[in-house]
Amino acid sequence: MANLKEVKNRINSVVSTQQITKAMKMVAAAKLKRAQDRITMMRPYSQHLSAILQNVSENNDGDMDNPYAEQRPVGKLLIVLVTSDKGLCGAFNSFVVRKAKSLMEGQYLELAKSGNIDFLPIGKKGMEYVRRNKLPYNATYVDLFNSLNFADVSEAANYVMKEFTKGTYDKVEILYNEFINAATQVVNNEQFLPIEKKEEEGSTAKSSGNDYIYEPSKDYIQDELIPTSLKTQFFKALLDSNASEQGARMTAMDKATENAGDLLKELRLKYNRTRQAAITTEILEITAGAEALAAQ
């Protein structure tokens, strides 16, 4: 049976750990509120803008050259791997990494075998994964979560868009955790480029047969609005991931705090039993000594 000092040390250690997990839960909850507000405000705008972009891309009848909608045979793929910078957030990062591995072993197996899949990790955990597996990557934008803002994210999105239009990559996909609520995150595999065509169920026609009036001009939409829309989609994915990370961390720390509480109950029970056993042994020894003296 463990002695009292060992059990007491374990109790102190678990109490310290529980205090840390409680503090981390509170910090994550505060960050989650801000992150949730940002993605909640961004998501409707982003979705509506994306729908407009798809409709315009499909209905321009070839009179507007959109280089971001060009469909090409996929000879080289870029995967934007969005993870967190820190751990202690449950399976948040492992789900994204597992999805990337699944793509390389399934849908893009031939590209992976020929070395035609590059990674753009955003977040240090994703960087660790590609380095550990010796995968081709560009680490320029790994630290975007240090200060998540549209200007810095736009630079990363602009790099991806430029490489696509140059023909370096024929397809770009973003892997990230989509925020549902504090306890639920879903890994999303989203095609970023080329712009996907919107499909309507039960119809092979265009998504809309409307004629569009372009204001101020088609050139402005091509040169300004479409790139800005794509950057917005990119930024939305990172906001989703950021909110998901804080939700996953808050949930993980809450569970860790509960587990620490359960362990403390067991340790304190063990401590009391050990202490009682020591007292009983001491009483028995004193009684035996007293009886031995009385018998002399």
Q: Which residues are catalytic?
A: 89
Give the integer Cα–Cα distance in Å for 69 and 263. Answer: 56
* Side-chain-facing half-sphere of 34: CA atoms under 13 Å: 6
Asked whether 86 and 252 are in contact (CB, 8 A), the reply is: no
Question: Could you tell me the two tokens for 123?
Answer: 């977040």
Residue entry with tokens 């507000």 = 37
Q: Choose among 236, 216, 165: nearest CA to 195.
A: 165
Give the integer Cα–Cα distance in Å for 112 and 134. Answer: 12
Give the integer Cα–Cα distance in Å for 229 and 254. Answer: 38
Q: Choose among 224, 248, 206: nearest CA to 86.
A: 248
Q: Choose among 55, 86, 40, 31: nearest CA to 178.
A: 40
